[in-house]
Amino acid sequence: MKKIAPLFFLLLLTPVFGFEVDLFEDGRVLINGTHSQEYTSKQGTLWTAGFQNFTDITINLPGQASIKGIQANYDYSIKYEKNLRVSVVNAGTDSFIKIDYELKNETDDSQTMTLFIITLIIIFLTAFFSAKHFSEKDKLDLKQVKKVLNPRQVRIIETIMKEGGSLNQNQLHRLTKIPKASLSRHVNELAAKGIIIKEDLGGTNRLIIKK
């Protein structure tokens, strides 16, 4: 679409007398059978149409338009037939009128995008706080479990947790310095209580904190 001048005083160039003006959704203006775009400008979803030096003028807005504001130095009237019509009659040669309007489909598109972004933010925040809630719940459960364990079993659990929640049993022995026989007994007790899971790796076990 042809670039439209953004400033109102640049729009008010050509005097019109006793004309009916049709505004189109793409910013074109039909005056006396001639199309032009020098009378309209657009910023975001807001369109502006401006005219000056007329005696009588009727401006027919696009069918999807809603008026956001009117500035004029003579009385005007607004009617709705198939679309909005703004009229000024018996004006002087110093007359001017500026109409700000929006098109419903463009406004709806903008609102739809805003709603979509808000929905994504809500989904993200819900997922984030839900994950945080369950994470804190898991930590609370383990904390309670530790109260019924002996000191070596607590050390085993804490060591596995420090390593990300899973650890090779041989590595656990090196880190805790618990004798192998005693470590094996404690690991079996923790597995029997459902606190850890043992995965046989052949020659050693993979120990995983159960959540």
**Band of residue 16 on the pLDDT scale cut at 50, 70, 90:** very low
Q: Which domain holds residue 82?
A: 8-104
Q: What is the pLDDT of residues 21-59, one digit of tens each?
A: 999 988 899 987 888 888 899 998 899 999 988 888 999
Whether pTM exceeds 0.85: no
Asked whether the predicted pLDDT for residue 12 surpasses 90, the reply is no
The answer to whether the beta carbons of residues 50 and 96 sit under 8 Å apart is yes
pLDDT at res. 142: 66
pLDDT at res. 7: 37
- Give the full edge-to-edge strand order of the sheet including 65-72: 40-43, 46-52, 96-103, 65-72
| Residues 14, 95 share a domain | yes
Could you tell me the CATH number of the domain that includes residue 180?
1.10.10.10
| Residues 100, 42 share a domain | yes
pLDDT at res. 60: 92
Q: Which structure tokens are listed for 194?
A: 């459902």
- Asked whether residue 13 is domain-assigned, the answer is yes
Could you tell me the CATH number of the domain that includes residue 16?
2.60.40
The answer to whether the beta carbons of residues 70 and 97 sit under 8 Å apart is yes
pLDDT at res. 93: 79
| Residues 23, 97 share a domain | yes
Distance CA 66, CA 52 (A): 22
155-164 long-range CB contacts below 8 Å, 24 or more apart?
156/183, 156/186, 156/187, 156/190, 156/207, 157/190, 157/195, 157/196, 157/209, 160/196, 160/207, 160/208, 160/209, 161/209
* H/E stretch holding 158: helix 151-162
| Residues 26, 87 share a domain | yes
Q: What is the pLDDT of residues 141-164, one digit of tens each?
A: 667 777 788 989 989 999 998 898
Q: What is the pLDDT of residues 92-102, one digit of tens each?
A: 878 999 999 99
Q: Which structure tokens are listed for 62?
A: 């696009």
Query: What is the radius of gyration, based on Cα positions, of the chain?
Result: 38
Query: Domain ends where: 104, 128, 153?
Result: 104
**Band of residue 202 on the pLDDT scale cut at 50, 70, 90:** confident
**Band of residue 104 on the pLDDT scale cut at 50, 70, 90:** confident
Domain count, the chain: 2
**Band of residue 8 on the pLDDT scale cut at 50, 70, 90:** very low
Q: What is the pLDDT of residues 115-130, one digit of tens each?
A: 778 888 888 888 777 6
- Asked whether residue 146 is domain-assigned, the answer is yes
